[in-house]
Amino acid sequence: MTEAEVRLATVQMNSGDDLKENIDKAEAFIEAAVKEHSADLVVVPEFFNIPYVFQWRDYAHIDRAEPADGPTITRMRELARRHRIGVVATIFEEEAAGLYYDTAFFIERDGSIVGKYRKVHPAAVQSLEKIYFRYGSYFPVFNYCGLKVGSVICYDTLFPESARSVAVNGAELIVVPFAAPKLDAWRSMMITRAFENGAWFAPTNKVGPEGEWTFGGSSMIVDPFGKVVAEMDDHSEGVISATVTRSAAYSARREKPMFRDRRPDLYKPICTNTEDIPGVV
């Protein structure tokens, strides 16, 4: 095993109505992550550049979507290049006219876009995400900042198959941009996702009121053994950090060899509609 070590920082923030002010705020937090935490890789929350508009049924909000060369990702690329850091930035992406996604952009130290992950499970219970953007269709993993890194986004986390797919695809670190209200099961769920996959798990949430919602903060970084190594509260903006190592994921997977013991040949029920399974009515 070749060791890799990255100083990961995550930003917990609230977003107002002004795009430029939100981007400026994110920039200030990213610069603090570099100067105060010696960050190599910084992750900002889901939809950090806009308020969470998907709580309202008003299709005019599609005007807030941006392409990859829009002002938000352009600024994040400039910051990555200036500070020689990786940045994961998640926005309401316009791929083409009438085609939108919830997309995490992986930006390398030279400002290049290594790749992107598009949210596979847009939420549609309290929120109205499904009327605004399309779902993604795969779980990519990137050789990124010296580690194998993948992502799930917010509601994806409630489907254990999502994080497992990223881990099976090779991720040692799973970053998780969030825009979620406070959840009673939040902390235990994040610890479980790290532990069951032998991977670093880094949920990065919005915080405070936006419209009719109040976001729950509680961002954290969990190691592959399920230990919380850095954590924010549920009401403050700020930055947390931790040193993420390949050796920790390697050791956790040797100690708990879940990839050896998996039985995908028996998992058809979780990949099949119930009406297609004999004996299920």
119 is catalytic: yes
Locate tokens 């969030």: which residue?
178
Phi, psi of 141 (to 5 degrees): -130, 135
Closest CA to 205 of 186, 226, 191: 186
154 is catalytic: yes
Residue ranges of alpha helices (H) inside 45-185 are 71-83, 160-168
Question: Burial letters for 27-51: b for 16+ Cβ neighbours within 10 Å, e otherwise?
Answer: bebbbbbbeebebbbbbbbbbbbbb
Instruction: Find the largest Cα–Cα distance for the chain.
Output: 60
- From the list 154, 172, 206, 210, the catalytic residue is 154
- From the list 25, 46, 116, 148, the catalytic residue is 46
- From the list 25, 116, 119, 206, the catalytic residue is 119
Are the C-beta atoms of 217 and 13 separated by less than 8 Å? no
Beta pairing, strands 238-245 & 207-210: unpaired
Which residues carry out catalysis?
46, 119, 154
